[in-house]
Amino acid sequence: MDAVEIVVRLAWLVGAAGFVIGLMRMNSPATARNGNLLSAAGMAIAIAGTAVLLATQGVVDITGWVIILAGIAVGGGLGLYTARTVKMTAMPQLVSLFNAVGGGAAALIAIDDYIRLAGAQTLLPNSISLEVSIPTVLDIVIGGITFTGSLIASGKLMGVIPGKPIQVPGGQLVTAALAAIVAVAAIYLWLGNVSVPILFVIIAASLTFGVTMVLPIGGADMPVVISLLNSFTGTAVAMAGFVLGNDVLIIAGALVGASGAILTKLMADAMNRSVINIMLGGFGGGEGTVAVGGPEGGTVRSLGIDDAAIQLAYAQNVIIVPGYGLAVAQAQHAVRELADLLEQRGVNVSYAIHPVAGRMPGHMNVLLAEANVPYPQLREMDDINPEFERADVALVVGANDVTNPAARRAGTPVSGMPILDVDHAKSIIVVKRSMGRGYAGIDNELYVNPKTGMLFADAKQGLADLVAAVKAL
């Protein structure tokens, strides 16, 4: 190992340390931005070190440099442009897209490496060792699934692909067949056979598996899927590290693999669903769900804009409960305008943020922060739940299942899911387009509560009308 290589390896170590410390600093809102910059600095050091290593080793010809620089220019340009222009509401699908290309790159490394090894030798059995062939196959399988799976997830959130669950003809049979093909092909290669065509069978089966895995999952579950695929990409990158014998790839990949797994579990827990159930697709098909045995035949009270405006304007404490519908309608600015107006009239306004409000955990905080809602007004579920009793009005905008009191009883599909105690407020206004159900597919008992008034409108339009009505008072 010459001096340059030692320095570069130390640079990779510094980069890896930057990732760990950066993630740690993302624990708290106060240091999060700094943590991300630290992680970016670690990345820059690791990449610059790699460039130095390649330059001093003299192995790179002019074509090699052209490929590297052109690739960085194209990829960097696209990444920078999309990241800067994306609307904050469209951000989850962009994360999914970046995830797809990361997984794709990891798979390409293993594919390229294998083709070269296979081409470099006469076809003797056992000429590619298990130490290489195991991570190669794992990298291609995981990276391939992530690539197409993330593209489908992104397409569903963008609306290019219908968000509703799409059943693949033959469903589980196709999945099982693909898994069997990959298993047989992988074992064939691990037994010491060298075959590029078999490698392509694995690639094709993995890519197809990614599509059939995500298509049957509904749009509302995409956050969990994206998080899971994020974890997959990390694992694929770690496998690429094993293929190339590169520690920094292993460290960063394993870090992301572990973090993604934790995040996925946290998200699924908050929705009271198991990751396995989500991956099997569809809520409604679940057996053993008992029909909601709540207060039947309750009537729904519809509320006019002016009545709602009066209730809000003359309240002392108002708690706003924003949900998925608000994110979809991009009504975050409208809700803030209403809140400002109420504050000017001396009303105390705060926001109750359910852990899974929006499209991803924390997504609602980002959307509201974008609309300049002061951070202290955003309150987490455990923190705000005791305060609903003192609230004169709870204004629910586009949230459904996370407010359903049925979750407190056993035997419903939402049982055990942590909910916001909206029904404890003195009165409740629900802005909603229709009586449609949330993704849990059950009626919300909150809507038939005598204290509840339903304001049937699109979130954005309804809030704009409320602003106008409050102004007119």
Catalytic machinery residues: 401
Contact flag: residue 262 with another protein (CB under 8 A): yes
Pick out residues in 52-111 that bind another protein (CB under 8 A). Answer: 54, 59-61, 63-64, 67-68, 70-72, 74-76, 78-80, 82-84, 86, 88, 91-92, 94-95, 98-99, 101-102, 104-106, 108-109, 111
> Residue 365 or residue 449: which is nearer to another protein going by CB?
365
On whether the CB atoms of residues 429 and 394 are closer than 8 A, the answer is yes
Residues 271-290 that bind another protein (CB under 8 A): none
Q: Can you tell me which of 151, 207, 213, 248 binds another protein, judged by CB under 8 A?
A: 248
Q: In the bound complex, what is the minimum distance in angstroms from residue 332's beta carbon to another protein?
A: 11
Question: Going along 3-156, which residue ranges are E strands?
Answer: none
The C-alpha atoms of residue 82 and residue 104 are separated, in whole angstroms, by 18
Binding piece for another protein, criterion CB under 8 A, among 26-34, 159-167, 402-410, 426-434: 26-34
- Restricting to residues 409-448, which ones interact with another protein according to CB under 8 A? none
Per-position x/- string for 181-220, each x denoting binding to another protein as judged by CB under 8 A, each - no binding: ----------------------------------------
Is residue 30 within the footprint of another protein (CB under 8 A)? yes
With CB under 8 A as the contact rule, the residue among 186, 202, 250, 308 that binds another protein is 250
CA distance readout (Å), 362 to 277, 430, 431:
23, 22, 22
C-alpha to C-alpha distances, 146 to 51, 61, 252, 275, 322, nearest whole angstrom? 28, 32, 17, 16, 31
> Distances from the Cα of 286 to the Cαs of 231, 406, 407, in angstroms?
26, 18, 17
Of 355-374, binders to another protein (CB under 8 A) are 355, 358, 360-363, 365-366, 369-370, 372, 374
Can you tell me which of 6, 7, 10, 24 binds another protein, judged by CB under 8 A?
24
Look-up of token digits 């059995």: 125
Report phi then psi at 391, rounded to 5: -80, 135
Q: Which tokens hold the place of 443?
A: 């009626």
Q: Which is nearer to another protein, 50 or 461 (CB)?
A: 50
Q: Which of 246, 330, 415, 461 binds another protein (CB under 8 A)?
A: 246
For the segment 3-22, give every residue that binds another protein (CB under 8 A): 12, 15, 19-20, 22
The helix-helix angle for 222-244 and 130-158 (nearest 10°) equals: 150
d(C-alpha 353, C-alpha 48), whole Å: 41
Q: Alpha helix locations (H) across 281-347? A: 305-313, 324-328, 332-344
Distance CA 346, CA 80 (A): 43
- Which helix (DSSP H) or strand (DSSP E) does residue 396 occupy? strand 393-397
> Which of the residues 286 through 315 are near another protein (CB under 8 A)?
none
Segment interacting with another protein, rule: CB under 8 A, options 51-59, 181-189, 430-438, 460-468:
51-59
Please return the burial class of 404, using the count of CB atoms within 10 Å of its CB with bins 0-12, 13-18 and 19+: buried
Nearer to another protein, 33 or 471 (CB): 33
Among 175, 259, 289, 330, binds another protein (CB under 8 A): 259
Strand partners, 350: 319
**Contact between residue 434 and residue 458 where contact means Cβ atoms under 8 Å apart:** no
Q: Are 425 and 392 in contact (CB under 8 A)?
A: yes
Query: Please, which residue, 143 or 325, has the CB nearer to another protein?
Result: 143
**Helix or strand or coil: residue 454?**
strand
Whose Cβ is closer to another protein: residue 306's or residue 370's? 370
Between residues 211 and 258, which has the closer beta carbon with respect to another protein?
258
By beta-carbon proximity to another protein, the closer residue of 303 and 384 is: 384
Q: How far is the CB of 234 from another protein (least distance, A)?
A: 5
The yes or no reply on residue 233 touching another protein (CB under 8 A) is: yes
Site for another protein in 103-162 (CB under 8 A): 104-106, 108-109, 111-113, 115-116, 119, 131
Which residues are CB-contacts of 363 (< 8 A; sequence separation ≥ 6)?
Answer: 91, 92, 223, 327, 357
Nearer Cβ to another protein (32/468) = 32
